[in-house]
Each structure stands twice: as C-alpha cells, then as structure tokens.
Amino acid sequence: MDTAAPIRRADGSYQEPRLSPLAPAFLTRVAVAAAVLAFIVLSVRVAEVDPAKLVAGLPRLWAWASTAWPPYTGDFDAFLYRALETISIATVGTTAATLLAFPLSIFIARNVTPSPLLSIPVRAVVNAFRGIDTVVFAILFVAAVGLGPFAGVLGMIVHSLGVIAKLNAEAIETIPPAPLEAAALSGANRTKIVTYAMLPSVLPSLASVSLYVWEANVRTSTILGIVGAGGIGIEIKAAIDLLDFQKLLTLSVIVLVMVTAIDQFSAWLRRRLV
C-alpha cells in the first residue's frame, strides 16, 4: 500500500505509512536521483577534473607566488588610471542601460504593458541580451569599433540592458493592482498611471536593481581588458603573459580594493534607497 497519509489506529494513535520500494512515487524519486548523479558524473568527466594535475602543479604555482614579493609600484599611476577606466566603463554602461531599459521594462511587464502580444518578442530579445555575457558582446564590438574602453562600454550596455529590463519588469509585476485600477478608473491616461501610480511603488526597487548591476559590472569590467576592451584587465593580461608576478600582485591588490570599495558604497546606497 502506497499512501502519504498516516493510518489512524483504533486507539487514536497514528501508524506511519510503510515505504514500498515498488511504489511509483518511490521509483520516480530514485530515477530522478540517479539521473542527477549521472549528470554530475558526466560533467566531471567532460570537465576533465583531475586532482592529480592540481597536486603536480602546486609546486610550480608556489614558485611563481614566491617571486611576487615585493609588489611592483613603478607604474602605479598608470595602474590607477586603468582602475579609473574600469570603473568608468561600468558606470557609463550601467547608466546608459538603465535609461534604455526603463521603457522596455514597462513594455514587457505583464500588468502594465500597452501591447501583450508585442511584449512577447520584445521579452525574447531582452532575454537574449541577458543570456549572452558582456565579454562576448565586448569581443563583437572590438571587431566593430576597435580596441579600447568604448567597445567595453557598448558590450556592457547591451548585456546590462537585458538584465535591468528583466529585473525591473519583475519588480513592476509585483505591485498590487488596486492603485493602477484606481488611477485608470479616475480617467488617467497610461503616462499618468505610470508616473503617479506605478513609479512611487517601484522606484526604490528599480534603483536597487541598477546599483546591483553597477556593482556586478565593476567586477566584470576588470576582465574586459583581456579581450582588448579597456580597463585594468589589459595590464593583468600583460603581466600574466610576461610572468611578471610582482606586477600581477600589485594589480590584484588594486582590483581587490576597488571592488570592495564599490561593494560597500553600493550596499550603503541601497540601504538608504530601499
């Protein structure tokens, strides 16, 4: 007998149901667990996970690390400029994406969209932007506009546009319908409904989304230089190519300080907005 409900005895106590190994529910759980385990094993094989290689490479890694001290400070001003360039790429890219994403997020939000039918393909485009990483877009824009931070800015705009529009739309869809319906019944047009009924409810959430994306973009922009799209990644790639671990240590410390400061500032600002 296979039932999830406990059996009540004559004396009022309950008998827990017996677990049958041939019950369909039990067999389904076993099949799902076996499938998940098989997928994990397949992933380990495809990823060529080999702990022996890591153990063999640790002495070489330690030898490189031992040459990193003292850190190189000869081009410190140039490194700081690259760090500023990294933050600038993230800031310009996130700001432009926020402005472009706002009307898109209203258009694809199911509770306020002016055209439910057209919102479907627009949502698909937004998901495509979100699904492709910033680095991939940066590589494409490097081919289009050449090496430099502008390619990184363009790549960051496209990817962030998808992320912010998607998260903004989800925030808009959570607002209660009563204020929107009351504004509509009062004769307000769509612009007034969005301005006076929707924005006051979701503006803190929209600001929080943009700050979160900006924070993530600062971290992402540190590697854009590896593909030629500007930022401190250019210096990191050059240091790795030349096995210059003193310079790599300096750059790593700058990145760590920069990202930590941005994270703290963004968290502080979010606490005051939300």
What is the full DSSP assignment across 226-259?
GGTS-STHHHHHHHHHTT-HHHHHHHHHHHHHHH
Are 229 and 148 within 8 A, CB to CB?
yes
**What pLDDT does residue 44 have?**
92
Determine the Cα–Cα distance for residues 100 and 158; give it in Å rounded to an integer: 10
Q: Count CB atoms within 10 A of the CB of residue 89.
A: 32
Task: List, for residues 114-140, the tens digit of each pLDDT value.
Answer: 888 888 899 999 999 989 888 899 889
**Arithmetic mean of pLDDT over the chain:** 85
Q: Does residue 200 have a pLDDT over 70?
A: yes
Q: Residue 163 — pLDDT band, cuts 50, 70, 90?
A: very high
> In this predicted model, which residue has the larger pLDDT, 4 or 108?
108
Mean pLDDT value of segment 46-62? 88
Asked if residue 45 has pLDDT above 60, the reply is yes
- By the 8 A CB rule, do 201 and 218 touch? no
User: Which positions ≥6 away from 212 have C-beta within 8 Å?
Assistant: 266, 270
The more confidently predicted of residues 235 and 11 is 235
pLDDT of residue 76: 83
pLDDT, greater one: 7 or 182? 182
The average pLDDT across 51-68 equals 85
> CA-to-CA distance for 229 and 243, rounded, in angstroms?
22
Whether the pLDDT of residue 243 is over 90: the answer is: no
Spatial CA neighbour of 240 closest among 253, 231, 251, 228: 251
253 close to 199: Cβ distance less than 8 angstroms: no
User: What is the per-residue pLDDT for 1?
Assistant: 45
